């Protein structure tokens, strides 16, 4: 049986997750979701992986969202369970301790864009198109799109995109800060890997705590957020990596972080 989710370490400390259903635009079938959950569980526990990239197989699609052909065969209860599964899988991406970069090599619609929104950073091919298109299908985004998109690009613009079900280009996405950068498709993975390596050279425990402080703090008022930052900072005070950073600075050399 074909593996629908592939994982490999493409550089030291850089893990690449690939959705591998190119014939179906990497749509989120039940089997793909099962394999993705298993992969995410393994990656979350792998201390050797410091940054995670997520992309789609082929040249046309990052992820086209839910598998609507499969969905047509389901009864109402099965649909509810599948929507919950997509939502929990997307949440699991957001909950990965490592920084996660969505490498959007093609279309990202519905659940596919929601998957990208759960990543920390998004880079896209010039040919990528994206949108939360659910209202055109008689539903609404059900895997975090109504919550994550407004937090990322602002309420007004998010409502416009969701209410119209509009599909936008990568350059339009860049203009509204939906993606961080846009590259030619031939350069996309290389540029994403360069960014990942730039991140991975830093202390892995610091990356984890910085992600916690940002993700948890953004949901609260400033006073609470500052307390969350303080607690995250304190988690690092007794680490070997913090001492290594100080010694390396004094010795004018690159630190060798071990994640301890």
pLDDT tens, position by position, 219-254: 999 999 999 999 998 999 898 788 878 777 877 878
The CATH fold of domain 5-200: 2-enoyl-CoA Hydratase; Chain A, domain 1 (3.90.226)
% of the chain beyond a pLDDT of 70: 100
CATH of domain 204-250: 1.10.12.10
Q: What ranges in the chain are assigned the alpha helix state H?
A: 30-45, 68-71, 76-95, 111-117, 145-153, 155-164, 170-175, 188-200, 204-217, 222-234, 240-250
* 251 is an active site residue: no
Is residue 1 pLDDT above 70, yes or no?
A: no
Of how many residues is the chain composed? 260
Edge-first strand listing for the sheet containing 107-109: 61-63, 107-109, 129-131, 168-169
Task: State both tokens at 35.
Answer: 């394999």
Is residue 23 pLDDT above 80, yes or no?
A: yes
Residue 136: count other Cβ atoms within 10 Å of its Cβ: 13
Residue ranges covered by each domain of the chain: 5-200, 204-250
Q: Is residue 115 within 8 Å of residue 109, measured between CB atoms?
A: no
- Burial degree of 249 (CB within 10 A; 0-12, 13-18, 19+): exposed
CA distance 93 to 144: 12
pLDDT recorded at residue 258: 82
Which residue in 11, 35, 70, 134 is the catalytic one? 134
* 240 is an active site residue: no
Which residue in 59, 114, 229, 235 is the catalytic one? 114
Is residue 259 pLDDT above 80, yes or no?
A: no
Mean pLDDT of 82-98: 94
CA distance 126 to 171: 7
Task: State both tokens at 74.
Answer: 């389901």
CA distance 109 to 223: 36
Mean pLDDT of the chain: 93
Edge-first strand listing for the sheet containing 121-125: 5-11, 14-19, 51-56, 100-104, 121-125, 181-183
Is residue 256 pLDDT above 90, yes or no?
A: no
pLDDT recorded at residue 2: 75
CA distance 129 to 25: 13
pLDDT tens, position by position, 31-63: 999 999 999 999 999 999 999 999 999 989 999
Is residue 79 pLDDT above 90, yes or no?
A: no
Is residue 78 pLDDT above 90, yes or no?
A: no
Task: State both tokens at 209.
Answer: 């705590």
* pLDDT classification of 75: cutoffs 50, 70, 90: confident
pLDDT recorded at residue 104: 97
* pLDDT classification of 6: cutoffs 50, 70, 90: very high
pLDDT recorded at residue 260: 82
């Amino acid at each position: 049986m074909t593996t629908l989710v592939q994982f490999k370490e493409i550089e030291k400390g850089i893990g690449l997750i690939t959705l591998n259903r190119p014939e179906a635009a990497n749509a989120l079938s039940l089997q793909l979701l099962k394999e993705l959950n298993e992969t995410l569980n393994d990656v979350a526990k792998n201390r050797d992986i410091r940054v995670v990239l997520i992309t789609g197989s082929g040249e046309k699609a990052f992820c086209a969202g839910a598998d609507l052909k499969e969905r047509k065969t389901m009864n109402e209860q099965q649909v509810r369970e599948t929507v919950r599964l997509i939502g929990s899988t997307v949440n699991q991406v957001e909950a990965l301790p490592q920084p996660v970069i969505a490498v959007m090599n093609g279309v990202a619609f519905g659940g596919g864009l929601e998957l990208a929104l759960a990543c920390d950073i998004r880079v896209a091919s010039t040919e990528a198109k994206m949108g939360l298109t659910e209202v055109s299908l008689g539903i609404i985004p059900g895997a975090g799109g109504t919550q994550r998109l407004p937090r990322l690009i602002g309420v007004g613009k998010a409502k416009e995109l969701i209410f119209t079900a509009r599909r936008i280009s990568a350059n339009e996405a860049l203009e509204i800060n939906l993606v961080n950068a846009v590259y030619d498709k031939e350069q996309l993975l290389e540029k994403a890997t360069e960014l990942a390596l730039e991140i991975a050279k830093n202390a892995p425990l610091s990356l984890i705590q910085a992600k916690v402080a940002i993700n948890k703090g953004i949901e609260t008022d400033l006073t609470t957020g500052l307390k969350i930052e303080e607690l995250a900072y304190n988690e690092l005070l007794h680490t070997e990596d913090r001492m290594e950073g100080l010694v390396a600075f004094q010795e004018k050399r690159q630190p060798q972080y071990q994640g301890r």
